[in-house]
Amino acid sequence: MKIHYQLWLIFSCLFIVVCLVVYMVVATTYEQRLQIGYEQIAVAKGTPVLDQLKGTYPYSPNRSTGYLRTYSERLKSRLILLDADKNVYADSFGQLKPSTAVNLTILDQDTSPVSFFSKTDSFGYVQHTLLPFRSAGNEGYLLMIQEADQLYDELQSFQNWMVQTLLVAVIAFFFISYFVSTWFSKPIRQMIVQLKKITPQRRTFSLKHRRRDEIKELIDATQNMVEELNLYDERQRRFLSTSSHELKTPLATMQLILENLPYVREKEETYREFVSDLTFQVQKMKQMVEQLLQMNRLADTPLEKEQLDALDIQQHLTHSFQHLADDKQLTFEFDVEPISVYVDQALFLRGLDNIVSNAIRYSHQNQSVKISIKREKDETKISVCDQGMGISPEDLPHIFEPFYRSNDATAWNQEGSGLGLTIVKQMVEMHWGRIDIDTVEKEGTCVHLFFRNT
């Protein structure tokens, strides 16, 4: 069922439930108010009778019966005088003998005066009213029995009016809720129309929504998603184009070397140079393919996190890169706190190795590479800083893109593939961390990795 009709049905059902509750509460309250009013009228009618009976009860049953008959005709009610035990003392109709026990629900009530309304098969609705009195130190009760059809006629009339009013309200709200649900779900229907127009060849989503609500957020999120998808496709196309070009270059070089290799067999020095160049291109292509495989495997590889001590990280970096630093006459400066980071060890060290190798590669001789591991609030911060060439403002937004290498970096070193920082960014994102770059062109670069302390 469409959300339009779901909202319509929900609104209508809720309003019907509210109407039923209102009807029950109002009808019950109105009935109680009517009963209280009729009770007060009955008490007011019975008070003059009690004034007369106080002079005859309990010494003159005949006079009491006479008064009862007189007022019974006047009030159009049956009057029964009860003694202290609530047995019959006198009956205006003369049908009940003295001392007869009467079985009525109202006689079980502790509070007086009180009225009780009931429905009988012979007389319809009947009102019983019990009034206590005291005469000459003796307790007695006056039981008034009269028809109450008028009360229930009024109640029925009021209930019918309420039913008609609420029925009109339900019908009106039925149409109002339809238009409200239509208005409310209109942006969703418009979104569906726009989304159905999206194809692999055409991805556009444009929808205006003035209300600042969750639907506005949903529309904005959908627009951002479509834009990100288009950007992703553009990056994919650029990645395929660049990777094809990067792989094609060493292949073309290898092909050229192989074509000319037979012609230089007699020149041993040239031959060795050709073989060395061929080996270099093979290694370069092998490294590039391995990094491409790493990039594709990272997202599908589940993390196996464990605590990795900062001192173990320092020992790993020293063991892996000290010989490269010595060849370039560089020094490592470590500032390591005795803390640990909760990471996938193999993946983390692979990314960190890429950062440190870049720092060594793009540093001048007789300089230093500073590596620090510290705790900042609820995060562990790992920084690798060099004093090398730095990154230009034009290149900085693109350094995490696959195969991207600035012109300066190409001039410095031909061995880089342009995939190292891409792998680093993937590693950091898989750990729900973040990466910041502080750089000044021709002065140096600091790469900061932040990981949560969990």
Residue intervals of the chain classified under CATH 1.10.287.130 are 214-295
Give 355's strand partners.
none
Give the pLDDT band of residue 390 (cuts 50, 70, 90): confident
- Between 230 and 308, residue with greater pLDDT: 308
pLDDT at 20: 93
Question: What dihedral do alpha carbons 271, 276, 281, 283 form, nearest 10°?
Answer: 140
Of 24-33, 272-281, 426-435, the one with minimum mean pLDDT is 272-281
**Contacts of the segment 400-408: beta carbons below 8 A, 24+ positions apart:** 400/424, 400/425, 401/235, 401/238, 402/239, 402/242, 402/243, 402/295, 403/239, 403/242, 403/243, 403/246, 404/242
Whole-angstrom Cα Rg for the chain: 49
Query: Is 312 or 252 the better-scoring residue by pLDDT?
Result: 312
- Cα–Cα distance measured from residue 165 to residue 37, given in angstroms and rounded to the nearest whole number: 25
- For residues 339 and 314, is the Cβ–Cβ distance under 8 A? no
Query: Tens of pLDDT along 356-382?
Result: 988 998 888 889 999 999 998 889 999
Residue ranges of the alpha helices (H) in 54-148?
A: 61-75
Q: What is the pLDDT of residues 393-404, one digit of tens each?
A: 888 888 887 766
Who wins on pLDDT, 93 or 220? 93
In angstroms, what CA-CA distances link 85 with 51, 88, 107, 139, 224?
A: 21, 9, 10, 9, 87
Contact 391/376 with Cβ under 8 angstroms? Answer: no
For 214-295, which CATH class?
mainly alpha
Long-range (24+ apart) CB contacts under 8 A made by 406-411 are 409/362
Residue pair 322/359 in contact by the 8 Å Cβ criterion: no
Quick one: pLDDT at residue 241?
66
Are 283 and 414 in contact by the 8 Å Cβ rule? The answer is no
Rounded Cα distance between 165 and 28, Å, is: 17
Cα separations (Å) of 260 from 66, 174, 247, 256, 276? Answer: 146, 88, 21, 6, 14
Taking only the tens place, the pLDDT of each residue in 154-174 is: 989 999 999 999 999 999 988
Indicate whether 207 pLDDT > 90: no
Three-class SS of residue 423? Answer: helix
CATH dotted code for 302-452: 3.30.565.10
Residue-level pLDDT at 239:
65
Of 102, 74, 77, 108, the C-alpha closest to 88 is: 102
**Cross-strand pairs, 374:** 381
pLDDT score recorded for residue 334: 93
Which percentage of the chain shows pLDDT scores above 90? 23
Which residue type, as a one-letter code, is found at position 435?
I
Mean pLDDT of 239-256: 73
Question: pLDDT grade, residue 243 (50/70/90)?
Answer: low
Does 409 have pLDDT greater than 60? no
Which phi and psi (to 5°) does residue 333 adopt? -120, 115
- Residue 272 CA, chain-centre distance (Å), reads 68
Q: What is the layout of strands, in order, in the sheet containing 331-336?
A: 331-336, 368-376, 379-385, 444-452, 434-440
Specify whether the CB–CB gap between 286 and 250 falls below 8 A.
Answer: no
Alpha carbons 65 and 438: distance in angstroms, whole number: 112
Q: State the pLDDT confidence band at 405, using cuts at 50, 70 and 90.
A: low
413 pLDDT above the threshold of 70: no
Most confident of 18-27, 208-217, 218-227: 18-27
Q: Give the amino acid at 225.
A: M
Amino acid, single-letter form, for residue 342: Y
Q: Are 12 and 19 in contact (CB under 8 A)?
A: no
Q: Where are the beta strands (DSSP E) in 92-150?
A: 114-120, 124-135, 138-147
Other beta carbons less than 10 A from residue 178's beta carbon: 16
Residue 287: pLDDT above 80? no
| Residue 142: exposure state from Cβ atoms within 10 A (0-12, 13-18, ≥19) | buried
Report yes or no: 420 and 360 within 8 Å, Cβ to Cβ: no
Query: What pLDDT does 356 receive?
Result: 92
Q: Which residues pair with 438 in a beta bridge?
A: 446
Between residues 437 and 418, the one the model is more confident about: 437
Percent share of the chain, pLDDT over 70? 90
Closest CA to 447 of 376, 379, 351, 366: 351
Structure tokens at 112: 């007086």
Region of 172 please: left (phi>0), alpha (psi -120 to 50) or beta: alpha
Q: Tens digit of pLDDT for each residue in 13-59?
A: 898 999 999 999 999 999 899 988 988 998 898 888 888 888 788 88
Classify the phi-psi angles of 99: left when phi > 0, otherwise alpha if psi is within -120 to 50, otherwise beta. Answer: left
Mapped onto helix, strand or coil, the DSSP state of residue 435 is strand
Per-residue tokens: 336: 């390591």
User: Please, what is the average pLDDT of the chain?
Assistant: 84
By DSSP bridging, strand 331-336 and strand 340-344 are unpaired
Q: Which pLDDT tens digit goes with each residue over 186-198?
A: 777 777 777 777 7
| pLDDT for residue 412 | 47
Q: Cα separation of 246 and 243, whole Å? A: 5
Domain with CATH 3.30.565.10 in the chain: 302-452
Identify the top-confidence range among 10-14, 178-182, 183-187, 227-231.
Answer: 10-14
Rounded to the nearest 10°, the torsion over CA 349, 353, 356, 357 is: 180
* CATH architecture assigned to 3-155: 2-Layer Sandwich (3.30)
This prediction has a pTM of: 0.48
